[in-house]
A = this chain, B = another copy of it.
């Protein structure tokens, strides 16, 4: 337990903690609205409260976690229609923009990479493996977005996905993953292959738009 790690060779502990909590949030393992605590998280992850504090600060700054202003206690933000609407709007702006830039900078390597991820995604869908589907979907979008060479916009998109994560889990829990997909990815790949920026923008916008509509319905149904 007390083994001191040589700090520089691998990622810092607070980064690992950050990733762990992030994944737990995205996959919905921590229920929205529920309260958490530094010490409980630390115990659960087998680390001291210190790196958890650092990770939590980051997550709060990214609005993936919230602080009850009265008692200053941590809690997972609740899923509201209002939040979803704002997140949808923001995603529908940034992500098509990133897709358009990426398409303009694409090469055959990217196309092959996207095709491979999309194949994996279809496989996950066929098997009904929700976790794998979500991972592949994330991988697909961000493999594309990274090519946009737009650090700030990319970070914005990452933050939005982090906040939208819990909503996705709600959708999958209600309607199943299969209804979510109406393959706009192939459309996007074609646009990328052709270097068609506007085509990629439209494909990604359509992809998001459909997904967010499903989430909206699921959230409304939950209320």
Binding site for B on A (CB under 8 A): 12, 53-54, 57-58, 60-63, 72, 83, 86-87, 89-90, 93-94, 97, 150-153, 155-156, 163
Contact = CB atoms under 8 A, between A and B. Distances in A.
Contacts of A152: 63, 83, 86-87, 90, 163
Interface of chain A, helix or strand or loop or mixed? helix
* Most central of A60, A72, A152 by chain B CB within 10 Å: A152
B90 A156 contact: yes
Contacts of A93: 93
10 contacts: A53-B54, A61-B61, A61-B62, A83-B151, A83-B152, A86-B150, A89-B153, A90-B94, A90-B156, A93-B93
Contacts of A61: 57-58, 61-62
Nearest to A54: B57
Contacts of A156: 90, 156
Given A97-B89, A150-B86, A155 B63 contact: yes
Contacts of A72: 12
Given A53-B54, A57-B58, 8 more contacts: A54-B57, A57-B57, A61-B62, A63-B155, A86-B153, A87-B152, A90-B153, A152-B163
